[in-house]
Homo-oligomer: A and B are copies of this chain.
Amino acid sequence: MYTLLKKDQKARRGRFITPHGTIETPVFMNVGTLGVIKGAVSSVDLEAIGCQVELSNTYHLHLRPGDKVIRKMGGLHKFMNWRGPILTDSGGFQVFSLAKMRKIKEEGVYFSSHIDGSKIFMGPEESMQIQSNIGSTIAMAFDECIELPAKREYVEQSVERTTRWLKRCKTELDRLNAQEDTLNKQQMLFGINQGGTDEDLRISHAKEISKLDLDGYAIGGLAVGETHEEMYRILDVVVPHLPEDKPIYLMGVGTPENILESVERGVDFFDCVLPARNGRHGHVFTSRGKINIMNKRFELDDQPIDVGCQCPACTHYTRSYIRHLFKAKEMLALRLCVLHNLYFYNKLMEDTRQAIDDGTFSEFKKMKLEGWARGQKPHNEDK
């Protein structure tokens, strides 16, 4: 289903065919936690801003509105009226970061809902069942995302359990996909590489899961507080040990800079709440780096957020107007900035793909990084 079209040094230009459409890679997935992008952005808007893949969160949808409701409504595609590919995470990350009173056992995790405290159990089979009810295009394996730093002994045990869980996920999803009344019988499964910042654990785990012939492989447990350099180091050592004929997904990453550095190291899929979250706070991306639209210096600025940008915000509204909307606490401010930031990310990936196609990725990356840095010089700093 994945075709590697071209390599420019380690950067990969690929194509991933799914039952819900073709994904050109490298790609940034737009995060709609609860089946919607925060900031009043709808599935209709996603088309307008060049989104290829929508990502929703299993844990959140399980709690609200409930995966059984979504199943009854015909699956998430129909529910949110998005016909393109959808990736759902496994719920693991939220169980480990949001839920209270967590207890990890071999069978799975016992925890309390972050909304009403009710007791929930989730293991590999439960995660697969929920994702099957949601009917996403790509399901993620249920893994343990450990906190860093962690003792090597714990990381080792955790990685081994994650491998056992992955095998159970595969068995369960195969079973669900074979059932008569399953919404999406072609649901795909991505495994997740773990191992903290231990290079040898990362490598041995990558080798182990590569044997399973999954639809794709993710690198998890990064961008959780370690330095960027540590993250890049892990990518350098892990990516070569994942199958070249499968897409590689770096979970929860990141800034535009992080993405280009990771594309350079062979990553194909990305996702992050950063562009939408930044947008809701008036922090918007431009070709000259990030600016704070609430800055006084934009009060009378009749330029768009980013000159030349073709997003729905930049083609219709000025910095001055959007600043006013923020100051007046008008919701349209958030919507326009989220639309802009997601467009910025989607366009960055489009340009990245073009650069790899052209064999000019390293010049492209250098030019982009220099442009973003230029606007951030001290004399031009935003507060």
The chain A residues found within 8 Å of chain B, CB to CB, are: 34-44, 64-65, 69, 72-74, 79-81, 299-300, 302, 312, 316-318, 320-321, 323-325, 327-328, 330-332, 334-336
Contact = CB atoms under 8 A, between A and B. Distances in A.
Nearest to A79: B321
> In the assembly, how many copies of this chain are there?
2
B40 A321 contact: no
A185 B225 CA distance: 60
A81 B317 contact: yes
A335 B79 contact: no
A40 B65 CA distance: 23
Contact of A335 (B300, B316, B320, B335): B335
A245 B79 CA distance: 51
B324 A64 contact: yes
Q: Which of A40, A302, A312, A327 has the most chain B CB atoms inside 10 A of its CB?
A: A40
A330 B34 CA distance: 8
B73 A331 contact: no
B64 A300 contact: no
A41 B332 contact: yes
A320 B40 contact: no
Contacts of A331: 38-40, 331, 334-335
Contact of A40 (B40, B69, B316, B318): B40
Contacts of A38: 330-331
